[in-house]
Amino acid sequence: MKGHKDTIYKTVYQYNQVPVSAADMEKLQELARNCRDVRNSVYERYGGIRGLSKIYPGYTAQNEMTKSRLREQLNLPAVYFYLSIFDALGDIKSQWAYTKKQVEKNIRANPNLSPEDCHYLRFVMKQSQCFASVLAGGEPHLSGIWEERYAAVREKVDIHRLDGYLRRQVRRHLGKSHTDVADGFPASPKGYRYADHGIYLTTKERGKRIFIPLTDNNRYDRQIYIRLYPEERNIRISVPVEVRQRHPEGYEGELGLAMGLKCMFVTDQGRTYGEKYLEYQSALTDYVRERLPRHQKNARNNPGMKKYNAGKIRLERAMHGYVNAEINRMLETEKPEIVYFPKLPPQSKPGFNRRVNATVSMWQKGFIKNRLARKCWERSVELVEVFGKGISTQCSRCGTEGMKEENLFCCPSCGLVLPERQNTAGNVLGRGRALQGAAGSGHSVIQQIKRSGDCKEKGPENGMAKVF
Ligand SMILES: [Zn+2]
């Protein structure tokens, strides 16, 4: 499986909710036995020294296996048959990679080989067609530039001796695989379907699927492995999932954020982002209040309403663009490994000023939070929500209840004087660190992003939070 360079794979598991019936378990075990037989057939045919030319890229092996009629003999659904072939070919390729490494090591360590000998051997091992031919005991038929190069490297050496040496070396290290175990089988999306709180698996009976209720509702769209525990009448599904590496490109340290209307974010170090947020928000609020047509009947056909909507959308876009740009700027400047931010109150309290109140009610907190969560995820920055009660009235240095004067926080106990929001951000950081230090690792926002539907396309998968 190929992945992005900063992607790693982890396995998540799914389990049956109720014991699998004896009849179904027997059917699953038969699939497992059949898949094992297919694997062994592939090992037998292509696992040896002469199999090399047929395993890359694998079409030859696949076609030959199709012609072998083994699938018909076993009456095995195509999905399981071909997956088992690919898995077995994968094992053989790993064997080859290991073997080549060992042989290269031995070549380097062999005092009886001249530099020209080593050069020849390395050339042969690198040129796959050449390697396959030499191992099969034949003459390589190369073309173009490879033919010339091959002629050049073989000129000064005893190829008879070296080819023999190479074959012996490979035979010594290339173990032929065989397996007696039939404890499970692979399945791809063609062979299963998630629905009804469980999974439907293709069986050998045409059109009939086995249904297994699962303990979770996560759905995946990739190759999975069904491991059987017949004694316990249980199964375990293994799913490889991509996980972004935690801290790419120098993101480090923790960051506490205070969120506000006048300024989107103030950090615990007192840096500010989104200072113009209120301007964008007010422009929108004023527009809504002043331009909303009084008569909203026949809203769709009303030209005034159309004009109004277009204007509103334009202002919303401008605001959203600004929010996105400021979140990007914040993350790229601060480069944090973990961001803590306060849990937002469910609803704003009524304010003293009607206009501010209207603004507050329209403050798209949810939008900012979702964008923040999304952008943190894209950069593999962990975003942790911190419980916010009393977070703005506590001293971030000593924890005493303090006073607020003119946007400043003053601590009567230790004398700390800080901009109010910076003090709040300091408390967010402190509480976040305490959370991380506690048994659990905070409340990951990942689940919330998922729920909000913000990450439908590229976001973390269902159940992703499990592996963090
Ligand atoms: Zn204090």
* 272-290 pLDDT, tens digit each: 999 999 898 888 888 887 8
How does 383-421 read in b/e, with b if 16+ C-beta sit within 10 Å?
bbbbebeebbbbbbbeeeebeeeeeebbbeeeebebebb
Report the Cα 89 to chain-centroid distance in Å: 25
| Strand duo 184-187 + 224-229: pairing | antiparallel
The arithmetic mean of pLDDT across residues 392-396, rounded, is 91
Quote the tokens at residue 273: 């982002």
434 Cα: distance to centroid of ligand 1 (angstroms) = 18
425 Cα: distance to centroid of ligand 1 (angstroms) = 14
396 Cα: distance to centroid of ligand 1 (angstroms) = 7
365 Cα: distance to centroid of ligand 1 (angstroms) = 30
| 238 vs 363 pLDDT, higher one | 238
What average pLDDT does the chain have?
83
Range name among 218-222, 262-266, 303-307 with the lowest pLDDT average: 303-307
426 Cα: distance to centroid of ligand 1 (angstroms) = 12
Quote the tokens at residue 283: 């422009």
340 Cα: distance to centroid of ligand 1 (angstroms) = 21
317 Cα: distance to centroid of ligand 1 (angstroms) = 42
The arithmetic mean of pLDDT across residues 368-374, rounded, is 89
Q: What is the pLDDT of residue 410?
A: 92
Domain boundaries, the chain: 254-467
Range name among 72-76, 78-82, 185-189, 454-458 with the lowest pLDDT average: 454-458
Q: Are 375 and 239 within 8 A, CB to CB?
A: no
| 354 vs 149 pLDDT, higher one | 149
Nearest to 252 by CA among 370, 380, 129, 358: 380
The arithmetic mean of pLDDT across residues 57-63, rounded, is 82
- 465 band by pLDDT with thresholds 50, 70 and 90: very low
- 37 band by pLDDT with thresholds 50, 70 and 90: very high
Contacts of 409 (CB under 8 A, 6+ apart): 392, 395, 396, 402, 403, 416, 417, 418, 419, 420, 422, 423, 424
Q: What is the pLDDT of residue 198?
A: 96
The top-scoring range by mean pLDDT among 25-34, 151-160, 241-250, 377-386 is 25-34
- Whole-angstrom Cα distance, residue 69 to residue 255? 62
pLDDT at residue 459 greater than cutoff 90: no
- Whole-angstrom Cα distance, residue 468 to residue 462? 13
Quote the tokens at residue 27: 């059917």
411 Cα: distance to centroid of ligand 1 (angstroms) = 5
pLDDT at residue 243 greater than cutoff 80: no
The top-scoring range by mean pLDDT among 187-196, 430-439, 452-461 is 187-196
Question: 216 phi and psi, to 5 degrees?
Answer: -130, 170
Neighbours of 250 (CB within 10 A): 7
400 Cα: distance to centroid of ligand 1 (angstroms) = 5
410 Cα: distance to centroid of ligand 1 (angstroms) = 8
- 177 band by pLDDT with thresholds 50, 70 and 90: confident
275 Cα: distance to centroid of ligand 1 (angstroms) = 27
The top-scoring range by mean pLDDT among 29-38, 354-363, 415-424 is 29-38
Q: What is the pLDDT of residue 454?
A: 35
433 Cα: distance to centroid of ligand 1 (angstroms) = 18
| 153 vs 58 pLDDT, higher one | 153
pLDDT at residue 54 greater than cutoff 80: yes
- 178 band by pLDDT with thresholds 50, 70 and 90: confident
197 Cα: distance to centroid of ligand 1 (angstroms) = 52
422 Cα: distance to centroid of ligand 1 (angstroms) = 14
The arithmetic mean of pLDDT across residues 390-400, rounded, is 90
